[in-house]
Structure 1
C-alpha cells in the first residue's frame, strides 16, 4: 500500500476514534476544563497525530494508548462523583482569594497567583475596587468567581418588590429569507400572521435575512439591505395607549351619567384599570 494512502486511512480512522472518545468523555466548555483535562486533551491529540503520520509505529499500540488515555479520565470522573476525597485529589478544591474585602495573601502564594493577576480577573468582571468584593474564589478550572457586597450589587426586580413578566425564548421564524415553520408554530403563530406583520412594516420576505418573534409577539427583522430602516415594532405602546384610552373613557362616562349607581361603577372600574396600567406600564413602554 502506498504511504500516502496509508496516511489517509490512518487519519480517517483516528478522526472517527477521536470523535467517539470525545463524545464518550462528555461535554465541557474550554473554560470549564481543569488542568488535568487540559493535559489529557493535549496528549490524546498528540497520540492521534502520531498514529496518523508515523508509518513505522504499530498503529494498534497507538490506538491502545489512545483508548487508555481516554478511558482513565472517564473512570476518574466516575469515581470523583462517588467519592468527595477522590474528587478533591483529581479536580482540586476551590481557594478563597478575597474575604470581606480582604485579600488572602497566603492563599495567593499557595496557588502561585500574583496580585496583578487577581486584579486583572476582577477588572474583567467590571470590579475595580477590592473593597467592593465580599467573596472571591479561585475555581478548579482557574476561573475567579466574584461576589460583590450587597450595597454594590446591581438592583434587581426583587429588590424593588417587583414581579417581572415571564419571558419566553425568542423564536427565529425567518432565516435566510425562508419561513421556519416549526419555530413559528412553537410561538403559536401562523404563516398568514407572519406575512401580515411583514406587510405592516413594508418589508418583503425575500429581503429578510433573520426574523425573530419575542415573548410579547413582536416581530424583529434584520434585512439583507442594510440601507433600509425597519420601523420599530409598535404593538406594546399601542396596547398601553389603548388601556389609557379605556381608562379615560370610563372616567368620562362617570362624569356624564346622572345615575349614582352607574357613576360609582364607572369610577370603581376606572380606578381598577388605572392600577392595572401602573403595573404593566414598565413592560409596555417602548425601550
Structure 2
C-alpha cells in the first residue's frame, strides 16, 4: 500500500527519500556523464542549434533523456547510461556516414529544400509541404529585409530550416509585404465587378502572381481576388 503523501513535507520536497549523502553521488554522476558526453559530442562534431539537421536534433533529444535520467536516479547505473549514450552517438555517426556516401540517403534522412518563391510569386503547394502558411513565409522574407515579393527571384527553405533568398535585378512589380497584412490589410479587387476588369498592374492576392491581360482568375493558383502590384523603393546597398 502506498504511503500517504504529506503536503509541504520539506524533507521529501528537497531531498526525497534518499539520504543527504546522495547529493554527493549526484554531483559525481553529473561530472562523469558530462565529461563523457562532451567527449563524444566533440568526436561527432557539434554545430549551433540554428544549424542542426533533423538527425542532429533527434540526437540532442535522445541524449537529453539518456543523460538526464542518469544524473539523479539512483537506480540508473552509470555504465548502463554510458552504454545508451554510446549507442545513440554511434547510430548518429552511422547516419552521417550514409549521408556522405549516398545522395538518396541524404535526401531520405535530411529531406530536401522547398521552393517557396519563384519569380516573385509564392509557391503555396511547396510551403504547405513544410506546414507553412502564407503569413509565415512572408514573415521569413521580412526577416531577410524583403519588402515586396517582386524583389525576390527565388527563395528556398533549406532542409535545415534556413531560408535562402536570391534577389531579382532589377526588382519587378509585386505584392507588398511591408507592413504585414495583419497590420495594414492590402486592398482586395474583384475584377468581376463593373469597370474593375480594366485595372492594370494587379497581382494575385493569394500568391502574388502578376495578372496577365484581362484574366479574371490567377493562372497559377486559381484565385480571383487581386491587389495592386507595386515596386519597392530602392534602398538596398
| Pair in the same fold by TM > 0.5 | yes
SS where residue 106 of structure 1 aligns?
helix
Who is 1:80 aligned against? 99
- Once residues 127 and 107 of structure 1 are traced to their aligned partners in structure 2, the CA distance between those partners, rounded to angstroms, is 19
Cα distance, 1:45 vs structure 2? 2.0
Specify which of 95, 101, 104 is matched with residue 114 of structure 2: 95
Cα distance, 1:80 vs structure 2? 0.4
Specify which of 12, 16, 22 is matched with residue 3 of structure 1: 22
- Once residues 33 and 90 of structure 2 are traced to their aligned partners in structure 1, the CA distance between those partners, rounded to angstroms, is 16
Higher RCO (CA < 8 A, seq sep 6+): 2
SS where residue 117 of structure 2 aligns?
strand
Q: Deviations over 1:193-228 (max 9, x none)?
A: xxxxxxxxxxxxxxxxxxxxxxxxxxxxxxxxxxxx
- Once residues 169 and 134 of structure 2 are traced to their aligned partners in structure 1, the CA distance between those partners, rounded to angstroms, is 24
Who is 2:154 aligned against? 135
Question: Of the two, which has the highest radius of gyration?
Answer: 1
Specify which of 166, 191, 200 is matched with residue 147 of structure 1: 166
**What are the within-5 Å matches in structure 2 for residues 161-200 of structure 1?**
none
**What are the within-5 Å matches in structure 2 for residues 103-252 of structure 1?**
103-152=122-171
Q: Which moved more, 1:20-29 or 1:117-126?
A: 20-29
How many residues are aligned here?
152
Q: Which moved more, 1:116-125 or 1:56-65?
A: 56-65
- Once residues 75 and 110 of structure 1 are traced to their aligned partners in structure 2, the CA distance between those partners, rounded to angstroms, is 28
In structure 2, runs of 5+ residues without a counterpart are 1-18, 172-237
Who is 1:50 aligned against? 69
SS where residue 146 of structure 2 aligns?
coil
Q: Deviations over 1:88-130 (max 9, x none)?
A: 1111111111111121111111111111111011000100111
SS where residue 170 of structure 2 aligns?
helix
In structure 1, runs of 5+ residues without a counterpart are 153-287
Who is 1:285 aligned against? none
Who is 2:45 aligned against? 26
- Once residues 42 and 160 of structure 2 are traced to their aligned partners in structure 1, the CA distance between those partners, rounded to angstroms, is 20
Who is 2:34 aligned against? 15
SS where residue 145 of structure 1 aligns?
strand
Structure 1 segments, 4+ long, off by >3 Å, are none
- Once residues 109 and 54 of structure 2 are traced to their aligned partners in structure 1, the CA distance between those partners, rounded to angstroms, is 10
- Once residues 14 and 85 of structure 1 are traced to their aligned partners in structure 2, the CA distance between those partners, rounded to angstroms, is 36
- Once residues 5 and 22 of structure 1 are traced to their aligned partners in structure 2, the CA distance between those partners, rounded to angstroms, is 26
TM-score (norm 1): 0.51
Per residue, is there more helix in 1 or in 2? 1
